[in-house]
Amino acid sequence: MEYQRSKDAIDKLTPEQFRITQRAGTERPFTGEYNDHKQPGIYVDVVSGEPLFASSDKFESGCGWPSFTKPIVPAYVTEHRDESLGMVRVEVRSKHGDSHLGHVFNDGPRDRGGLRYCINSAALRFIHRDDMEAEGYGDYLNQVEDV
């Protein structure tokens, strides 16, 4: 499957999705659709469709945003220095969609690598495990466990 950013995909974004993915916005904590989401499947970039995170790598961090220990394909998540808000953080973006996803911090579960990818729900689209094959994501089924 080929993943890319397209004007058509950007034109279909809701105002909130556009604000977050294209303008590096942030959802209010505990308001995102996937914060308490517990279904088996994968989360893909809302712009490009590239696979980003698996439900089996999702954990409850209590921060108010969906949190993951690692990306499905590390090369699909790029890291950038972010000095906004008077602090230094590491912004994460999708490689092909160039969507702002959120930030990565080093306060995740130590037994799972120690990282916390803090991601805006509006940057994601969820694909249930039962639909992954039909939507072209069958290669990632082995990364999805029951949650």
**63 counts as catalytic:** no
Distance of CA 138 to CAs 5, 58, 64, 106, 133, Å? Answer: 22, 19, 30, 31, 4
Which among 20, 77, 115, 118 is annotated as catalytic? 118
Residue among 100, 92, 87, 93 nearest 24 (CA): 100
Contact 105, 97 (CB under 8 A): no
Catalytic residues: 118
